[in-house]
Amino acid sequence: MTTPTASSPESWHGTTIVAVRKGAKVVVAGDGQVTLGATVIKHTARKVRRIGRGDVIGGFAGATADAFTLFERLEKKLEQYPGQLTRACVELAKDWRTDRYLRRLEAMMIVADATTTLVLTGNGDVLEPEGGVAGIGSGGTYALAAARALIDQDLDAEVIARKAMAIAAEICVYTNTNVVVETI
Sheet holding 34-36, edge to edge: 12-13, 34-36, 39-42
Q: How many CA atoms lie within 13 A of 128 on its CB side?
A: 9
3 is catalytic: no
* Contact between residue 78 and residue 72 where contact means Cβ atoms under 8 Å apart: no
- Tell me the C-alpha distance between 143 and 14, whole Å: 13
Q: How far is CA 27 from CA 39, 62, 77, 151, in A?
A: 29, 20, 22, 13
Cα torsion through 71, 76, 82, 87, rounded to 10: -70
Active-site residue, from 2, 3, 5, 15: 15
- Could you give the residue numbers annotated as active site? 15
